[in-house]
Chains A and B, each alone.
Chain A
Amino acid sequence: MANMVKKANAFEILNHWVMAVSFIILAATGFGFLFHLEQLNSIFGNFNAMKLWHNWSGVVFAVSLFFTIFHYLPVSLSLGSDDIAWISKAGGYFSKKAVVPPQDRLNTGQKLLYLIVLTVGTAIAVSGLIIWLRPAAADIRKWVLLSHLVHNIGFVLMVTIIPLHIYLATLANPGTFRIMVYGTVPLEWAKKRHAKWVQKMGF
């Protein structure tokens, strides 16, 4: 067995899966509402049940989004010259010869993804709560319309970005997916992809 190092703890893995499952329920029911997909009734029963699934999955998503702050926000905010270089090389995804600068515990792409997910996720959660709870206000119709717009712009961004995230964290980068199962990676793998982090941790 190769020399393994721990990259994610159990809580981070669990939280990520809670978020992933709630997201899939939210996106599926969201498409159901947008396009009146009555085929989904075979899963959820009817649209009344689907609304309950959507709203409460939203609560679960928001709670897990909150916990991600402790897992990903500090490292995601530590953007520097290496990150700019990473972006200029498009992460090395479009050339086998590209050499990308050494990366933190999260690479530049993951950092940007997280910042987008945190921002968009918060906007979706807040706008969703306004539509759901309809707080008493004289111009509540305007607030609901604004929330509806924000909620749907967020939806478009999420259903576009998350499939790319899933692809990049599975097929595109072999060895990455196991982090969300075991939390560990081979040291050699980590040295190649997260050199700065390996150095910082002193592995």
Chain B
Amino acid sequence: MSRKALVISPELCIGCRGCQTACKSWNQLSAAKTTNKGTVENPPDLTPNLYNKIRYVEVPSESNPVRWLFVSQRCMHCDDAGCMKICPAPGALFKTKEGAVGFDKEKCIGCKLCVAGCPFNIPRYDEKDKITKCNLCSDRIAEGLEPACAKTCPTGAISYGDRNSLIGKAQGAGYQKLYGEADLGGLGVLYAFKDAPKVYGMEENPAIPESVIFWHKVLKPLAYWGLGGAVVASLVHYVAFGPKKDEEVK
């Protein structure tokens, strides 16, 4: 199956936050009581019960004093996912056949390492210490439906489909390069930005933390070879030099 993706176009988003509500509705996530901080960005951050949040960025300039940007923030469904790399529990985080990063709370052991391994600071953990995050509505897309956010979006700011054809379509619409086309092996959530990513509150070059890469590429093999090497070295020494027998000790 070809990889699926979302393309998010902040320039089309009107900040209605219907996607936030649809996401909660489909995934049966309870609402949270928040306080008015004088911004439409509400709740202020992702929570175990909020997989998708509209970030609100105000970019006033001389020519356009009311430039408001709305950016959906959620799991990016990386091809090379930091959370999956660091996760110690097999099956807790997994790739669906559509290329989404799914999670299984039964298999999650609550170590929370994924929270540190994610380049985008997305995963949250619930009151039982289990991982929660957007899973691209795995249960919907497996049945050929769109994720709830894309389904409900009234302006086309969130579009779901075949990753390659979405990229092609965006190029046709004048976007030379989408955010996330090549980062982390290619993201499953792409952004059609008209400005530098940081204007929208996104990092220029997202990457898995270097220490996690080092651990994966160097320390893991070293643990294997260290133990094996020590056992082999002991055996070789025993055969080549033998034990220190009492009568030989001077």
**Chain A: residues with CB nearer than 8 A to chain B?**
30-36, 38, 47-48, 50-51, 92-96, 99, 131-132, 134, 141-142, 144-146, 148-149, 152-153, 155-157, 159-164, 167, 171-175, 188-189, 192-193
Contact = CB atoms under 8 A, between A and B. Distances in A.
Contacts of A163: 227, 230-231, 234
Contacts of B241: 93-96
Q: Which 7 A-B pairs have the closest CB atoms?
A: A33-B88, A160-B226, A167-B234, A163-B230, A36-B90, A144-B116, A51-B109
Interface of B: 86, 88-90, 92, 107, 109-113, 115-117, 121, 209, 211-212, 214-215, 219-220, 222-224, 226-227, 229-231, 233-234, 237-238, 241, 243-246, 248-250
A48 B226 contact: no
Contacts of B238: 167, 171-172
Contact of A152 (B121, B215, B237): B215
Given A47-B107, A144-B112, A188-B246, A159 B220 contact: no
A54 to B, nearest CB: 9
Contact of B110 (A36, A51, A148, A192): A51
Given A141-B116, A163-B227, A163-B234, A171 B110 contact: no
Contacts of B233: 164
A94 B211 CA distance: 38
Nearest to B247: A192
A50 to B, nearest CB: 8
Nearest to A30: B223
Nearest to A150: B211
A192 B230 contact: no
Contacts of A47: 88-90, 92, 107, 109
A192 B246 contact: yes
Nearest to B121: A141
B208 to A, nearest CB: 11
Given A47-B109, A93-B237, A131-B111, A145 B209 contact: yes
A48 B86 CA distance: 16
Contact of B249 (A30, A94, A193): A193
A196 B88 CA distance: 48
A171 B243 contact: yes
Contacts of B214: 149
26 contacts: A31-B223, A31-B227, A36-B88, A47-B92, A48-B110, A51-B89, A51-B109, A51-B110, A92-B244, A95-B241, A131-B113, A141-B121, A148-B113, A152-B219, A152-B223, A153-B219, A156-B222, A160-B226, A160-B229, A164-B230, A164-B234, A167-B230, A171-B243, A174-B246, A192-B246, A193-B249
A156 B226 contact: yes
Contacts of B88: 32-34, 36, 47, 51
A175 B212 CA distance: 44
Given A156-B223, A159-B227, A144 B113 contact: yes
B181 to A, nearest CB: 26
A192 B249 contact: yes
A156 B220 CA distance: 8
